[in-house]
């Protein structure tokens, strides 16, 4: 059973206890699954005790049964790859920049969209900045 005391968590059994390090999400999720499934607390009460919904409890049970405790670790959210600025699109942006150095990122983006490439002006600006292809602005000499 998990016990919380002064911002610390402890796994307790009949013969002692273990301190759970702060931020150890895998141990806390596993403790929730044990209390909900093995100690009779039930999915709804166990989920509420640990700050999860009953639906998330069942998702975690399913993940744990298929992949083990490592599956309880939170994954990075959001896109996993750069699906807009692929290597081919980056090469096309660089090519357009070298063909017409005076073209703005908006013009390059428009040319690429006319060729069927779905890209925003901001993405073109990011490619130009990443490869150091910005226009150099002339400096006014100090008087």
Q: pLDDT tens digits for 102-111? A: 999 999 999 9
Cα separations in angstroms, 18 against 8, 15, 68, 70: 11, 10, 21, 20
Q: What is the pLDDT of residues 5-28, one digit of tens each?
A: 887 888 888 888 888 888 888 998
Amino acid 137: pLDDT:
67
Residue 100 CB neighbour total at 10 angstroms: 12
Q: Containing domain of residue 49, as a range?
A: 2-72
pLDDT at 42 over 90: yes
Q: How large is the average pLDDT for residues 103-128?
A: 95
Q: Is there a single domain that holds both residue 43 and residue 105?
A: no
Structural domain ending residue among the three candidates 24, 45, 72: 72
Which residue(s) pair with 105 in the sheet? none
Whether 79 maps to a domain, the answer reads no
Kindly provide the residue ranges of all beta strands, DSSP E only, lying in 14-119, ordered along the sequence.
16-20
pLDDT at 91 over 90: yes
Q: Is there a single domain that holds both residue 67 and residue 97?
A: no
Whether 82 maps to a domain, the answer reads no
Structural domain ending residue among the three candidates 24, 47, 72: 72
Whether 143 maps to a domain, the answer reads no
Whether 138 maps to a domain, the answer reads no
**Tokens in use for 15?**
């013969």
- The burial of 104, by beta-carbon neighbours within 10 Å (0-12 exposed, 13-18 middle, 19 or more buried), is given as middle
Q: Is there a single domain that holds both residue 8 and residue 35?
A: yes
């Amino acid at each position: 059973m998990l016990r919380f005391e002064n911002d610390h968590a402890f796994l307790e059994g009949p013969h002692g206890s273990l301190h759970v390090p702060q931020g150890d999400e895998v141990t806390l999720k596993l403790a929730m699954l044990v209390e909900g499934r093995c100690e009779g607390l039930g999915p709804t009460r166990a989920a509420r005790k640990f700050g999860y919904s009953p639906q998330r409890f069942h998702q975690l049970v399913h993940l744990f049964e298929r992949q083990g405790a490592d599956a309880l670790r939170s994954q990075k959210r959001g896109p996993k790859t750069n699906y807009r600025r692929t290597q081919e699109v980056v090469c096309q942006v660089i090519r357009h920049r070298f063909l017409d150095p005076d073209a703005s990122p908006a013009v390059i983006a428009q040319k690429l969209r006319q060729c069927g490439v779905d890209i925003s002006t901001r993405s073109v600006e990011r490619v130009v900045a990443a490869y150091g292809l910005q226009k150099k602005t002339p400096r006014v000499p100090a008087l």
